Amino acid sequence: MKRKLIAAIGIAGMMVSIAACGGNDDKSSSNSGADAKELTVWLTVDAQNNWPDLVKAADATVQKAHPGVKIKHEYYGWPDKNTKLDAVLATDKAPDVVEMGNTEMLSYMVKGAFAPVDASKFTNSSAWLDGLKASVTYDGKTYGVPYYAGGRVANWRSDIAASVGIKKPPTTYTELTADLDKIQKKEGSKFSAWYQPTRDWYAAMSFVYDAGGSIAAESGGQWKGNLSSPESIKGLNEFKTVIDKYMHGDKTKDESDRYIVYGQGKAAMIFGAAWEGASAADPKADKTGGKLKTSLVNFVMPGPSGKNMPVFLGGSDLAIPVKSKAQALAAEWINAFTGPSGQKGLMAKGNLPNNKTDLATLKSDPATAVPATAAESNWFVPMAPGWGQVEKAQVLQTMLQNIGTGKQSVEDAAKAADTAIDKVINTK
């Protein structure tokens, strides 16, 4: 559920308008909206198409507490949502609740587009998943509420594993690499025992965090690139080993079409979003004659550290624009929508919940145990003011491609990436 950071946040008119409005958390502000009679909620089409009943239930809860309140919903597709949001935030007609991809939150928080909220007023906030909590936190304040999550898992073909005598998925990294070595030897150099796109920074940074490294580190209010630290270099070296030994595809590609490549039958394993295996097995993508439908198996990705690999958590957050005239009512609606009943409904639709308490319940169900267990160990991007510029410049992707293709050594590529990161990461 990766959401790409939208560069349109820089629209000048919007920013001037937001700055004039301010972003304090004064409960007596004219924007508190404690007695508001209307509420406008912007969600993506995911909610409209997949769980409209949960939206109606949240509406009913708020309207029961506030008879006569009118709640208006608007639904948007991911590609055009932020362009429309940027335009309306430059006016006095801002919505009261907006859904954001969690990687989209940072630039809006930095620019003061969202109102701070009191996290303690939201059910299970003390148990929010670490990666999701990070996505709504900036400069010591909370600017949103995690909605739901999507994790990353390993997925492999049990039929290919069985062909070399492997009967079950590995539980340790040593077992994994030993299994992949057997598969690679049998299938030959034109086959990828592990199809791992070189530019997939979500996977690469999992290796970095597993080794105790990080993309960037903060000290004294300033951020600096940390990819050339010994720990990060260790993780990047292991990632390069994977690319060199098991990835025999185009080493300049990213992960956007990984499930399609996987469906072509020239790989035994991937490490990606939990939905990718099922998408590869869809008859539209499966070019193996239907073998994938019965052979694909998800498992928790083991890390070289001996622990489960930390994974990037994608997902959505809900935020309240600072220009909303119904902020208190908006907070009530968000709590009703993301509370216990809402999370139960979202889990029933195949999503991961926003908190550790509900996540624990999924671990006991064989159908959800793998993604739930994998999500327990997670990481998120540096919550630095200039992170959006790092993403826009594709600093990590460039570093990884240079490493994977051999254009640069791991050490030189990491140093170059740190230099590029340091130029922009503290810039608002």
What pLDDT digit, counting tens, does each position of 186-215 carry? 999 999 999 999 999 999 999 999 999 999
Mean pLDDT of the chain: 92
pTM listed for this prediction: 0.88
**Rg of the Cα atoms in the chain:** 22
Q: Is the dihedral of CA 281, 286, 292, 293 positive or negative?
A: positive
pLDDT at 368 over 60: yes
pLDDT at 123 over 80: yes
pLDDT at 321 over 70: yes
Q: What are the distances in angstroms from CA 359 to CA 134, 338, 370? A: 17, 14, 11
Q: Given this model, what pLDDT does residue 33 score?
A: 61
pLDDT tens per residue across span 174-190: 999 999 999 999 999 99
Q: How confident is the model at residue 151 (pLDDT cuts 50, 70, 90)?
A: confident
Q: Given this model, what pLDDT does residue 86 score?
A: 95
pLDDT at 80 over 70: yes
Alpha helices in 22-163 (DSSP H): 45-50, 52-65, 78-89, 105-110, 130-135, 158-162
Q: How confident is the model at residue 32 (pLDDT cuts 50, 70, 90)?
A: low
Describe the strand order of the beta sheet including 70-76 as a list of residue ranges.
70-76, 38-44, 97-101, 314-319, 145-150
pLDDT at 4 over 50: no
Phi and psi dihedrals of 369, rounded to 5?
Answer: -60, -40
Q: Given this model, what pLDDT does residue 138 score?
A: 96
What number is the average pLDDT over the span 314-338? 97
pLDDT at 9 over 90: no
Query: Can you count the helices (H) and strands (E) in the chain?
Result: 20, 14
How many beta carbons lie within 10 A of that of residue 381, not counting itself? 23
pLDDT at 110 over 80: yes
pLDDT at 2 over 50: no
Using a pLDDT cut of 90, give the percent of the chain over it.
88
Beta strand segments in 291-346, E? 296-299, 311-312, 314-319
pLDDT at 12 over 60: no
Q: How confident is the model at residue 35 (pLDDT cuts 50, 70, 90)?
A: confident
Phi and psi dihedrals of 267, rounded to 5?
Answer: -145, 155
Question: Residue 4: which residues within 8 A CB-CB, separation 6 or more?
Answer: 101, 103
pLDDT at 14 over 90: no
Task: Check if the beta carbon of residue 20 is closer than 8 Å to that of residue 111.
Answer: no
d(CA 141, CA 144): 9
d(CA 383, CA 110): 10
Q: Given this model, what pLDDT does residue 176 score?
A: 98
Q: Classify strands 314-319 and 152-157 as parallel, antiparallel or unpaired.
A: unpaired
Q: What are the distances in angstroms from CA 276 to CA 14, 46, 138, 203, 256? A: 37, 17, 31, 14, 10
pLDDT at 27 over 90: no
Task: Give the type of residue at 123.
Answer: T
pLDDT at 10 over 90: no
Query: Greater confidence, 428 or 20?
Result: 428
User: Looking at 12-26, 276-290, 328-342, which range is the least confident one?
Assistant: 12-26
pLDDT at 139 over 50: yes
Buried b (16+ CB within 10 A) or exposed e, 238-261: bbbebbeebbbbebebbbeebbeb
Question: Residue 426: which residues within 8 A CB-CB, separation 6 or more?
Answer: 222, 223, 384, 385, 386
Question: Residue 364: which residues within 8 A CB-CB, separation 6 or more?
Answer: none
Beta strand segments in 151-241, E? 152-157, 216-219, 222-225
pLDDT at 26 over 60: no
d(CA 88, CA 347): 32
Cα 292 to chain centroid, rounded: 26
d(CA 304, CA 240): 13
Q: Given this model, what pLDDT does residue 31 score?
A: 54
Q: Given this model, what pLDDT does residue 36 score?
A: 86
User: Looking at 3-7, 140-144, 266-270, 422-426, which range is the least confident one?
Assistant: 3-7
Q: Given the structure tokens 């309140």, which residue do they identify?
A: 69
Using a pLDDT cut of 70, give the percent of the chain over it.
92
